[in-house]
Amino acid sequence: MTSSLAPLVDQFQRRITYLRLSVTDRCDLRCSYCMPERMTFLPRKDVLSLEELHKLALGFIDRGITKIRLTGGEPLVRRDMMELVRALGRKIGSGLEELTLTTNGTRLNEFAEDLFAAGVRRINVSLDTLDRAKFAQLARRDSLPQVLEGLAAAKAAGLRVKLNTVALKGINEGEIADLVAWAHAQGFEATLIEVMPLGDVEEDRIDHYLPLIAVQDDLERRWTLAASDHRSGGPARYFDVKETGGRLGLITPLTNNFCEGCNRIRVTATGQLFACLGGSEQVDLRAALRSQDPQAALAEGLDTAMKIKPARHNFAIDSRGQAPALARHMSMTGG
């Protein structure tokens, strides 16, 4: 193997095999913990074209990336998004082991069958409540019916679904168990996530920060949780819930740092590679793609990313008025 095609291994000897690739920063929801109501989105000229996104993905596959998750914003709001999905789907079994995406579910009813036909076999769907009024309050859009239709369409199309729920004190903490039970009854996995301090929003995150150790304690008073050795390639720790027969994941960026085994890098819709979700270390891959020698510039950029990837992030939510860990919003970094 030539040096330009060497596997991606960082300075801590972690093999990087998982790319989270954002195709847009735009979203049709405005979830209060993610972005402000009047979010300013990127000028379209700054966003990578679908052709550039495809070239970028192929470059990563050549360097040993075996799993690609397409993210946003909301990936399915991007026009002609399915062209990219189909093109990458053709790499499954030829360097790429899995192509998946994270979505808010609002457009799944339209795209679920096409996603399955293109080679996608499982998806993550963000859903924080089954209460329509609460959903409208959180997302600032009354879109729960469309999300539920989308979930039904995904199930009918044969897609495996994992629900991602951000645990929010004073908002959905009283219904987390019911949401997990509902997910398992539908044949879906459920994963709970601590709110992350990324980007300025119109509220103080400490008001809604709910440590998952407290949620786990509550669930264990209700159910029997057995630690599972299941791994998805992401940061979740998994448990089998005896009473529901389903699987529960916990993602704890604040209370139980999961960086030691990190195998991930993120690329924004503008081609900025962030070596860590919680870090400012970045490489401009858009400039590489648009240079005189894109192949060599991309190889150099990926080598640089491996040198600057930090050992861990340092998220904290422990005081009122605390500034976010980073100014950029989650929708910019790619989920």
**CA-atom Rg of the chain in angstroms:** 19
| 196 known ligand binder | yes
pTM: predicted TM-score of the whole model, two decimal places: 0.85
CB of 33 closer than 8 Å to CB of 164: no
Q: What is the structure's pLDDT at 164?
A: 96
| 27 known ligand binder | yes
Q: Work out the pLDDT band at 235, boundaries 50, 70, 90.
A: confident
Kindly write down the DSSP assignment for every residue of 28-57, as one continuous string.
Answer: S---TTTS-TT--PPPGGGSPPHHHHHHHH
| 259 known ligand binder | yes
Q: What is the structure's pLDDT at 314?
A: 54
| 261 known ligand binder | no
CA distance 151 to 171: 22
CATH topology of domain 3-333: TIM Barrel (3.20.20)
CA distance 193 to 209: 10
Residue 221: is its pLDDT beyond 50?
yes
Overall average pLDDT of the 182-204 stretch: 77
Overall average pLDDT of the 54-71 stretch: 97
Residue 266: is its pLDDT beyond 80?
yes
| 31 known ligand binder | yes
Q: What is the structure's pLDDT at 216?
A: 93
| 265 known ligand binder | yes
Share of residues in the chain with pLDDT > 90 (%):
64
Residue 65: is its pLDDT beyond 90?
yes
| 191 known ligand binder | no
| 20 known ligand binder | yes
Q: Work out the pLDDT band at 4, boundaries 50, 70, 90.
A: very low
Q: Work out the pLDDT band at 126, boundaries 50, 70, 90.
A: very high
| 69 known ligand binder | yes
Question: For the chain, what is the mean pLDDT?
Answer: 86
Q: What is the structure's pLDDT at 152?
A: 98
| 34 known ligand binder | yes
| 55 known ligand binder | no
CA distances from 84 to 90, 290, 317 (A): 10, 19, 37
| 33 known ligand binder | yes
Q: Could you report the per-residue pLDDT of 152-182, keeping only the tens digit for each?
A: 999 999 999 999 999 988 899 999 999 999 9
Q: What is the structure's pLDDT at 76?
A: 96
Q: Which residues contact residue 56 at a Cβ distance below 8 angstroms, ignoring those fewer than 6 apart? A: 21, 48, 267, 271, 285, 289, 298
Overall average pLDDT of the 245-271 stretch: 82
Peptide bond into 301 cis (omega under 30): no
Share of residues in the chain with pLDDT > 70 (%):
81
Bridge partners of 240?
A: 226, 247
